[in-house]
Amino acid sequence: MTSNAAKLTPPEFKPHVPLTRLEALNAAIAAAPERAPPLVVQGAPAEEMVLTPGGMRPISTVHQIPPGGRLAHVGNEVHLIDANDKVIHKTVPGDSIPNRPEASGWITYASWYDNNLSPPIKDFITTWTVPPNPATNHGQTIFLFNSIEPASFNAIVQPVLQWGPSYAGGGAYWTVASWYLVGSTTYVTSLTRVNVGQSLEGVINLTSFSGTSFNYTTYFVNIGASFLTVTNAAELVWATETLESYNVTTKSDYPTGTTPFNNIYLWLNNNTYPALSWSVVNDAADGLSTTVERNGPYNGQVTIHY
């Protein structure tokens, strides 16, 4: 199992972006209809906010996928379906307006955008090793992942390595889970604890498609609890290898050294490989960066430097 990414910006959860994409984001924000301010009820308690790879979100919009469950887009709704094919939750996720880059938790990343769209991306696979634990713990959360998003940037499919707490759980140790964020709604599988030095293989796979409806799975190889399926979704076109973090107060809140994302494979549905060259976005102010060791759609490597 194995797959790669260009340059653009996502929705509510991206950092610095290439200028052309930033311009597109600004245009999208400017074109969005103005919304009335939320109604504030005097004395009403504020809703609890929880951390996700899309930042802080209201707890009512974040949902755990039960073992054997799956997600399905049905009209303008997303259905959460259990292992017995019973719909246990429905929601209209809406179309989130992309955050400006500086508003996101993405720190440094490599990306590639599939401009051709046909044939679609079939597989995007990345191998990396669980880094050392950070030397200090200030309640920070670190996310490392490969991911793909649609052209609208209002969704993201991602198998995520996590250190620290999130809505899904966790603490001062490494865990993995798969996440699907669409519009203002978030879904996550259960966490599985992993060990420093353990090899991980994150997979995003197009299982089938018809017209504009695409069916995907994402998971970590040999970690069954991380398996996530979503059907009738939009085509995924923007691939990334990313470091995202929250509540970091000092550089020692990160692991030491580097995290190479290697054995990167990205191929298309007709079993051909695209011409792939990674673009990178770095956090120069904090000395965090991404370098490209090997471009191309197979056996690629990009490295996160802490």
Residue 37 lies in a domain: no
The pair of structure tokens assigned to 61 is: 């919009």
pLDDT along the chain (306 residues), means of 10: 37 36 44 40 74 95 97 97 97 68 78 89 98 98 97 95 98 98 96 98 98 97 98 97 96 97 97 95 92 96 98
* Total domains, the chain: 1
**Can you tell me which residue has the tokens 């140790």?**
173
In this predicted structure, what is the pLDDT of residue 115?
87
Pairing of strands 87-91, 77-81: antiparallel
Residue 14 lies in a domain: no
Alpha helix (H) residue ranges in the chain: 19-31
Calpha distance 106→93 (Å, rounded): 22
The pair of structure tokens assigned to 28 is: 């999208």
Calpha distance 170→172 (Å, rounded): 7
Global pTM value: 0.85
Distance, first Cα to last Cα, the chain? 28
In this predicted structure, what is the pLDDT of residue 158?
98
Q: What is the span of the domain harbouring residue 232?
A: 19-29+45-305
Residue 83 lies in a domain: yes
Residue 38 lies in a domain: no
By CB atoms closer than 10 A (0-12, 13-18, 19+), residue 284 is: exposed
Q: 19, 281 in Cβ contact below 8 A?
A: no
Q: 29, 158 in Cβ contact below 8 A?
A: no
Residue 3 lies in a domain: no
DSSP string, 254-267: SPSSEEEEEEEEEE
Calpha distance 268→120 (Å, rounded): 6
Alpha carbons within 13 A on the beta-carbon side of 215: 9
By CB atoms closer than 10 A (0-12, 13-18, 19+), residue 117 is: exposed
Residue 36 lies in a domain: no
In this predicted structure, what is the pLDDT of residue 170?
98
Strand ranges (DSSP E) for 3-120?
A: 49-52, 55-58, 62-64, 70-74, 77-81, 87-91, 106-113
Residue 113 lies in a domain: yes
Residue 296 lies in a domain: yes
